[in-house]
Amino acid sequence: MNCFVRVLAVAVVFTFAFVSTEAVADTENAPKAKASKTDAAKPYCAPEVSELSNHVCYFDGGAPADGRKTLVVYLHGSLALNPGFFYMQQRAMAIHAKKHGFTVLMPTSPSDGVGYVWPTSQTAQAEQEPAILSGLKTARAALERKVGHAFDETFVVGFSSGAYYGSSLAVRSALDADGYIVLAGGSSWTKDDAKKHNRAPIFVGVSAADPQTAGHSRGFASALAAKGWPFKVEERDVGHMVDGTFMAHGITWLRERKQARDGITHAAGTGGDVRATE
């Protein structure tokens, strides 16, 4: 489906969309101007975030009140090759990380020569996925050393190109994660290779004002329902963006699911956690 995703990327919008503390718009379809000398001097990671390694950035937003350490792996939308092009998505994810108390790891997809896009066809996955998964494992280990601790839970947030690839990773159980948030996209055609006990919960955000992806998000949610997969779907009248409400609801829901699986309940009035016993 790589050709389809590339056509979709061209079809969405040909301008930069706005970004606020609540949302980040996908910049994958902005005009791909030639990099200037000023652009060439820009580091890959925005000043507001930190560089972990080549084309891998991170931001430590701390922890929520219960102290649980959450790692979010962000799979970006399609990017131009221009230095600085990823800044808007990096900055917005840093804002979400600080607001919701998680550490965000921001790797970069392979390049197709035009930009950076995640693999969605079987051929591209076979060629590129081993290196992607190995890179994520290496980056996570490096991040744990950098921040000085391991993580209690790991969630994957996929947006646009990252949503199509993230949904494929989820239903194939290709990545060790405790849950997924899939925004502005979704691959309902991906074969389910996961065993029932490996089915990580998936939050699907349908951007109803985005005609290019809304149907795919709804189709993905319907496919999950048919599979009996643990999922939650929400629909909002928003465009092609990482919506702040989706992020808030998705992170909260995944944390609740993870804590329920861990046998943790919150003690009323104490603010602490109590581990349930069978």
Task: Indicate the pairing of strand 70-75 with strand 115-116.
Answer: unpaired
Whether 27 shows a pLDDT value over 90: the answer reads: no
Give me the pLDDT at residue 31, please.
39
Whether 130 shows a pLDDT value over 60: the answer reads: yes
The answer to whether residue 277 sits within a structural domain is no
Whether 28 shows a pLDDT value over 90: the answer reads: no
The answer to whether residue 274 sits within a structural domain is no
Confidence of residue 190 (pLDDT cuts 50, 70, 90): confident
The answer to whether residue 65 sits within a structural domain is yes
- φ, ψ at 154 (rounded to 5°): -130, 125
Whether 91 shows a pLDDT value over 80: the answer reads: yes
Cβ proximity of 129 and 119 under 8 Å = yes
Element containing residue 181 per DSSP (H, E): strand 179-183
CA gap 184, 256 in Å, rounded = 23
The answer to whether residue 42 sits within a structural domain is yes
What is the per-residue pLDDT across 213-250, written as a single tens digit (0 to 9) for each? Answer: 999 999 999 999 999 999 999 999 999 999 999 999 99
The answer to whether residue 19 sits within a structural domain is yes
CB-based contacts of 267, cutoff 8 Å, min separation 6: 273, 274
Whether 273 shows a pLDDT value over 70: the answer reads: no
CA gap 125, 95 in Å, rounded = 31
The answer to whether residue 161 sits within a structural domain is yes
User: Is the C-alpha dihedral spanning 75, 77, 81, 86 positive or negative?
Assistant: negative
Residues of the chain with pLDDT > 70, as a percent, come to 80
Q: What is the mean pLDDT of residues 10-36?
A: 39
Give me the pLDDT at residue 183, please.
98
Comparing C-alpha atoms, which of 173, 174, 168, 179 is closest to residue 260? Answer: 179
**Long-range contacts of the stretch 33-41 (C-beta < 8 A, 24+):** 33/82, 35/81, 35/82, 35/83, 39/82, 39/83, 39/84, 40/83, 41/83
Under the phi-then-psi rule, with left for phi > 0, alpha for psi from -120 to 50, and beta for the rest, what region is 62?
A: left
Look at 21 and 100; give whichever has higher pLDDT.
Answer: 100
Q: The domain containing residue 252 runs over which residues?
A: 2-263
The answer to whether residue 40 sits within a structural domain is yes
Whether 278 shows a pLDDT value over 90: the answer reads: no
Find the CATH number of the domain harbouring 168: 3.40.50.1820
The two structure tokens encoding residue 68: 């649980």
Whether 11 shows a pLDDT value over 50: the answer reads: no
Q: What is the mean pLDDT of residues 1-28?
A: 39
Look at 132 and 18; give whichever has higher pLDDT.
Answer: 132
Give me the pLDDT at residue 192, please.
75
Q: How many domains does the chain have?
A: 1
What is the per-residue pLDDT across 57-81, written as a single tens digit (0 to 9) for each? Answer: 999 999 999 999 999 999 999 999 9
The answer to whether residue 271 sits within a structural domain is no
Whether 39 shows a pLDDT value over 90: the answer reads: no
β-partners of residue 205 are 183, 234
Give me the pLDDT at residue 188, please.
82
Cα dihedral value 122, 189, 157, 31, nearest 10? 70
Give me the pLDDT at residue 70, please.
98
Give me the pLDDT at residue 202, please.
98
